[in-house]
Amino acid sequence: MSEPLINVAFVGYGYTTRVFHLPAVKCTTGYNIYAFVQRQEFPIDKRTGKPAPSCKDDYPDAIRYSSMEDMLKDEKVELVVVVTPGESHAELCIQSLEAGKNVIVEKPFAMSVAEADKVLDAQKASGKVLSVFQSRRYDSCFRTVEKIVKSGTLGPITSAQIRYDLNNAVWARSDPNPDYIPGSGIMVGIGSHSIDQALQLFGTPSHVTGFYRSLRGIKSKTDDTYMIVLRYDDTHPDLQVIIGTELVSVMPNQLRYFVRGREGSFIKFGEDPQEEQRIGGMAFDDEKLGWEDEDRWGVLNTKTKVNDDQVVVKELWGGDVWTGKIKSERGRGADYYADLALALRGKGPLVVNPKQSRDGLKVMELARESFDTGRTLAFD
């Protein structure tokens, strides 16, 4: 006998819901798109004044609730997906958990560590599942670097760079705000993913040093460029991890990862193709989705030969180096929902634990405080 479907209610019907969450759910076994919270029956885009997409037009069989409260009263709703502006995330998570619902929330799931702790307290009291949509754990490039690091091929890791640089992207340089509002800036918008990946690879750091700037032509405390240095004095004393985004980086395939170890190194340019493929109309269940072109594959360099694609390069001082491209793993953001379905049914672990996302928020808070005070700060 098959298990009942997981009835999902989406809070918010913007671009991210329509382009990323809904297609992923539709191609994943075990879910039913059951309801939406969309306040207006005939929504209007505030920026253009024109009609905005309506959930009932696109999903006529789903229920449209005009309020969060009405949706939470529906006992058939098992999973609430919060895809709203960041400042509302914590409150909506707590409401949903207290109503006995499992919750997925877009990052950042809170505006501060203190707010995140309140959400975690609500989750613990409810006994329900809470997960943050850290979908870039499922990127092709991260899956590749994670596989290499965890294989031990590079030996003990001594340094790692995790980057997401931009060629002066319009959306990143359009913020006119001179002041900092919690939850704003590139460190949160993009860094949430990069920091999460660092924590996945190496765990929580012992110390955090941060730097942030505005390169978009205005003096602002809202960053569009940042760098964070993580130290691991207790667990990996030789390791230094640098995470960052540069707004001004004029090149086609940006540096994404550069990992050095005592037995080798791995360098990777170019990002996971899923977002551009999805924007171009490729379906989540298309077999071509998430596969990188060869010009984006990373290069693995090792002291000894580890695969047949490597060739030897003679070095004058350091000994021979075996070098060659490594085919990228497939990226597939929909696997987030597949993993979550297993967790909800008690058949697998919760891959994205909210405590990990809370630690990411703490790294960001410490990074800003570090720069503002000119000090390196202890994580604990």
Phi, psi of 330 (to 5 degrees): -75, 135
3, two tokens: 């298990």
Give 366's pLDDT tier (boundaries 50, 70, 90): very high
Average the pLDDT over 19-32 and give the result: 95
Question: Which phi and psi (to 5°) does residue 16 adopt?
Answer: -65, -40
Please state, in angstroms and rounded to a whole number, the distance separating the CA atoms of residues 131 and 151: 27
Spatial CA neighbour of 126 closest among 98, 104, 95: 98
CA gap 109, 88 in Å, rounded? 9
CB 117 within 8 A of CB 358: yes
Which has the closest alpha carbon to 72: 93, 95, 47, 91?
95
Report pLDDT for 156: 98
Say if residue 54 is exposed, middle or buried (CB neighbours under 10 Å; 0-12, 13-18, 19+).
middle
Residues 186, 118: Cα–Cα separation, whole Å: 24
d(CA 162, CA 244): 7
* Whole-Å CA distances, 341 to 28, 131, 199, 219: 9, 12, 24, 45
Q: What is the DSSP letter of 199?
A: H
pLDDT in tens, 178-230: 888 888 899 999 999 999 999 999 999 999 999 999 999 899 999 999 999 99
List the one residue out of 246, 108, 269, 257 whose CA is nearest residue 172.
246
Cβ–Cβ under 8 Å, residues 180 and 224: no
Token output for 321: 């180096």
Whether 195 contacts 243, CB under 8 Å: yes
- pLDDT for the residue numbered 1: 56
Residues in the chain: 380
Q: How far apart are CA 338 and CA 236, in angstroms?
A: 33
- Could you tell me if 109 and 93 are in contact, meaning their C-beta atoms sit under 8 angstroms apart? yes
Taking only the tens place, the pLDDT of each residue in 141-190 is 999 999 999 999 999 999 999 999 999 888 777 888 888 888 889 999 99
Report how far residue 270's alpha carbon sits from residue 326's, in angstroms, rounded to the nearest whole number: 13
Task: Identify the residue whose tokens are 């000894």.
Answer: 304
Does pLDDT of 21 surpass 90?
A: yes
> 120, 180 in Cβ contact below 8 A?
no
Rounded to an integer, what distance in angstroms lies between the CA atom of residue 157 and that of residue 261?
Answer: 4
User: Which residue's structure tokens are 């975690």?
Assistant: 120
DSSP result, 168-209: S-GGGS----SS--TT-SHHHHTHHHHHHHHHHHH-S-SEEE
Average pLDDT over residues 284-294: 93
pLDDT tens for each residue of 110-129: 999 999 999 999 999 999 99
pLDDT over 70 (residue 308): yes
At residue 50 the predicted structure's pLDDT band, cuts being 50, 70 and 90, is: confident
**Could you give the CA distance from residue 130 to residue 93 in angstroms, rounded to a whole number?**
8
Question: With 70 as the cut, is the pLDDT of residue 314 above it?
Answer: yes
Parallel, antiparallel, or unpaired: how do β-strands 79-82 and 102-105 relate?
parallel
First-residue to last-residue Cα distance in the chain: 49
